[in-house]
Amino acid sequence: MARKNRTPEENARREKIRELLQMANICSMDDIQNLFKETIAEFMENGLEAELDDELGYNIDYEDEKESFEVDEADTVELVNGERMPWEQVKRDGIDYIALYYVNEKGQQVQILDAELA
Length of the chain measured in residues: 118
CA dihedral 15, 18, 22, 24 (to 10 degrees): 110
pLDDT digits (tens, 9 = 90+) for 60-113: 788 888 888 889 999 998 887 788 989 998 888 877 778 888 787 788 888 888
For 112-115, the CB contacts below 8 A with 24+ separation are 112/43, 112/47
Quote the Cα angle for 90-92-93, to 5°: 65
| SS3 per residue for 59-104 | CCCHHHHHHHCCECCCCEEECCCCCEEEHHHHHHHCCCEEEEEEEC
Going by pLDDT thresholds of 50, 70 and 90, the confidence category of residue 118 is low
- Counting Cα atoms < 13 Å in the Cβ hemisphere of 46 gives 17
Distance CA 52, CA 19 (A): 31
At 60, the amino acid letter reads I
pLDDT digits (tens, 9 = 90+) for 10-25: 888 878 877 877 777 7
